[in-house]
Amino acid sequence: MSTTYGYTGKVLRIDLGSGEVWTEDTFKYKDFIGGEGIGYKILWDEVPAGTHPFDPENKITFGAGPLCGTGVPCSGRTTIISLLPTSPHHGAGSSHMGGYFSVEMKYAGYDSIVLEGKSPKPVWIRIEDDKVTIEDARWIWGKGIFDTMAMISSQMGKEAQVAAIGPAGENQLNMSVIRTGTSHSAGGHGGVMGSKNVKAIGIRGTGSVKVADPKAVMELNTLMDQIIGANNQMVAPSHPAPWAEYYSPSSRWTGKPGLFWGAANPPVETGECYPEDVHSIGKRTQKAVFDLGLGAEKYTVRMGGCAHCPIRCHSQLKVPQLEKYGMDPYVSNTCMGYASPRGVMFKGIKEFDGNGEDSSIVGTAIGATLADDLGMWCNYGQIGRDVKWFYEKGVFKRVLPAEEYASIPWHLLEKGDPRFLIDFYNRVAHKQGEIAHIADGAAWIAKRWGLGDDYWDAKENKLWTRGGYPVHHSNESAGQVGALISCFSNRDAQNHTHQNFIGSQLPINIQKDVAAELFGSPDALDAPSKYTRMNEYKARFVKWSLIRGRLHDSLTLCNWMWPMHFSPLKSRNYRGDLSLEAKYMTAVTGEAISPEQLDRNAERIVTLLRALNVRSMATTDLRHAHDAVNKWIVTPDKDKEGKVIPQFTPGTIQMEQADMDLGLGMVYKQFGWDEKTGAPTKSTLLELGLGNVAADLEASGLIPA
């Protein structure tokens, strides 16, 4: 076989029904880049419309892209692609794991792994380079994820990387995760693994990912060192620093003199973290104090994260108090992984059992440990808001059998005692009782429990569309830009292209300058809470963000860091480099590609996902069927006296229906979709080389008139 660069050249296919294992050539999918793009292509070609996510006919792809495994900064994530159980039309979507799984997968020789069919009994998949076997999993079925990973590693060797589901996935909860190491795949694909009777995939790879131009890759890495910032590509520190012209207290660049990894032995000072100093990049983000407050400093052993990423956004803590609750003291997580379980304790986590001022940290750590081991997903924090709504509005009382309701220790919730979390998560993950349906996801539970408009339209519930997913950097992030981005997915949008742009922590005038360079006018970006009406430059910003999101999930690069809009260096005029993806792609694969060509390939993936939605919703009218936002978003705020605060006055971030309608049309136009319905037109599909998609849709009468 000839040498391939970047790509390993093989996609591993496993039919769990027949036990057949084979490989196919990656390059037949090259127009779809890798990772997410390949996953959607397989769903289009091979999974018929109307398939339930838990049907054997559904397929699940574990994808990596051509840059994964080469050491390109922040290239360690795994993109998992399948139908989404929480989606009311079972739309396609991706979930993502950090960690080290995809790198090991590529070193074993595979760009992607695709599972299909259903095993007649519980199994796990063992991959050691080109040796692939399907193994009996009865001895690990029912185990928590951490024990599962350890038990498989005891069989395969300590070097193995394992992706596994917990009881939540086994029980086919819609809101369940696949987990590898200390990273989980938010998105809800754990149940798809469970439906196929697959407990885990273990991989060991002794091979490599070849690089066409090693010298160029190393030079690009050196260039990246001047551009990369802190977590979420924030490029100004959280505090005044001798090197920094700007600072912002909300920055995740928290490292500074006097701030430590307090539980390291000896404690490690994060220090000044000069932007030119390569050897402190990994100390810039002291994420424990950002996520959990200053009290978390003393519990911090170190930071962690994913393969080949110098930015360490996971905080890894030793919380000795956990042992009192029968848990091991070490806990690692980041962002919502900590915040969501805490959200279930909506009355706060108060002093209990003598933990005093740190009881919130202890309670948060208990919740994170439970959710991670059981394999529960939070629907981007929705689970906490749902518990609050259902408890306070009497929904639980109405829908749970009286005996079940009485058996739930609500008094612990009332008291703020996190032992409520132990009871709650175990009930739900093990599908015990009616309450477990809270993990069906908002769209399904609204039907089952008869929830009306008040549920969907309550601002506090933060539900974006009737698709059942909540805000994730939506209207609070650059107004219509974030709001429109949130309309195009089948789960929380989790697009960080725009979020990292506006979150750079640089002054708004610098951001506006870069917005003008990119989108043609500084009006593409409004200052926070000073929103103006929709314009076409904002539509370009939306298009850019959606395209780069799909690009990163396909390459695979972390969209929580990429793209590199800004740099911390004044000497670079704070400019990053938005051609870096293409430059790396060229250096790694040896085939020259321009940023425009690469973005065009990613645009193909955006439109393919759009076509998948047309197919699964069986309508071209996505504007109304898919993209329509809930009323609270377009309802003006009221002041204390009950007087309406009109949209687009400073201080309010509420959107307006007519303006959103206009914005949707502008974005459709940017992508060459039908401006009325938002469905891809035949000519656009053909221009993107999606002729088979056009033909399939035309045969089903799903091409807009």
Binding site for another protein (CB under 8 A): 69-71, 73, 100, 103-104, 107, 146, 149-150, 153-154, 157-161, 181-182, 205-211, 214, 217-218, 221, 264-266, 268, 278-283, 301-312, 316, 318, 328-330, 332
CB 340 within 8 A of CB 384: yes
Rounded to whole angstroms, the Cα distance separating 79 from 178 reads: 11
CB of 11 to another protein, least distance (A): 19
Residue number with CB closer to another protein (203 or 471): 203
Rounded to whole angstroms, the Cα distance separating 539 from 323 reads: 52
Q: What is residue 683's DSSP assignment?
A: H
Q: How many CB atoms lie within 10 A of CB 279?
A: 9
CB of 68 to another protein, least distance (A): 9
Q: Which residues neighbour 476 within 8 Å (Cβ) at sequence distance 6 or greater?
A: 482, 653
CB of 262 to another protein, least distance (A): 13
Residue number with CB closer to another protein (312 or 498): 312
Q: Which residues neighbour 566 within 8 Å (Cβ) at sequence distance 6 or greater?
A: 227, 229, 233, 235, 501, 504, 506, 510, 514, 574, 575, 576
CB of 601 to another protein, least distance (A): 22
Residue number with CB closer to another protein (306 or 439): 306
Detail the DSSP E strand segments found in 314-459: 314-318, 330-333
Dihedrals phi, psi of 163, to nearest 5 degrees: -115, 130
CB of 400 to another protein, least distance (A): 34
Instruction: Identify the residue whose tokens are 């830009």.
Output: 481
CB of 146 to another protein, least distance (A): 7
Nearest to 583 by CA among 36, 103, 69, 217: 217
Rounded to whole angstroms, the Cα distance separating 492 from 54 reads: 21
Residue number with CB closer to another protein (362 or 685): 362
CB of 291 to another protein, least distance (A): 16
Nearest to 43 by CA among 622, 623, 616: 616
CB-based burial label for 291 (10 Å; 0-12, 13-18, 19+) = buried
Rounded to whole angstroms, the Cα distance separating 224 from 692 reads: 39
CB of 57 to another protein, least distance (A): 35
Residue number with CB closer to another protein (13 or 312): 312
CB of 76 to another protein, least distance (A): 8
Residue number with CB closer to another protein (409 or 590): 590
Residue number with CB closer to another protein (15 or 104): 104
CB 72 within 8 A of CB 556: no
Strand, helix or coil for residue 333: strand
Residue number with CB closer to another protein (199 or 604): 199
CB of 305 to another protein, least distance (A): 7
Rounded to whole angstroms, the Cα distance separating 263 from 330 reads: 11
Residue number with CB closer to another protein (54 or 243): 243
Residue number with CB closer to another protein (69 or 88): 69
Q: Where are the alpha helices (DSSP H) in 21-165?
A: 35-46, 101-107, 145-156
Rounded to whole angstroms, the Cα distance separating 52 from 62 reads: 19
Strand order from edge to edge, sheet including 300-304: 300-304, 314-318, 330-333
Q: What is the largest CA-CA distance in the chain?
A: 74
CB 169 within 8 A of CB 194: yes
Q: How many CB atoms lie within 10 A of CB 391?
A: 17
CB of 418 to another protein, least distance (A): 20
CB 613 within 8 A of CB 91: yes
Rounded to whole angstroms, the Cα distance separating 359 from 363 reads: 6
Give the DSSP H or E segment for 309: none
Residue number with CB closer to another protein (208 or 432): 208
Nearest to 196 by CA among 117, 136, 140, 132: 117
Residue number with CB closer to another protein (268 or 645): 268
> Is the omega angle on the peptide bond into residue 620 within 30 degrees of 0, that is, cis?
no
Residue number with CB closer to another protein (216 or 662): 216
Dihedrals phi, psi of 304, to nearest 5 degrees: -145, -170
CB of 530 to another protein, least distance (A): 37
CB of 456 to another protein, least distance (A): 41
CB of 154 to another protein, least distance (A): 4
Rounded to whole angstroms, the Cα distance separating 438 from 180 reads: 25
Strand, helix or coil for residue 261: strand
Residue number with CB closer to another protein (23 or 280): 280
CB of 602 to another protein, least distance (A): 23
Residue number with CB closer to another protein (42 or 220): 220
Give the DSSP H or E segment for 129: none
Q: Which residues neighbour 258 within 8 Å (Cβ) at sequence distance 6 or greater?
A: 269
CB of 463 to another protein, least distance (A): 36
Instruction: Identify the residue whose tokens are 């920055």.
Output: 251
CB of 594 to another protein, least distance (A): 23
Rounded to whole angstroms, the Cα distance separating 701 from 563 reads: 38
Residue number with CB closer to another protein (16 or 588): 588
Q: Which residues neighbour 41 within 8 Å (Cβ) at sequence distance 6 or greater?
A: 29, 32, 608
Residue number with CB closer to another protein (137 or 703): 137
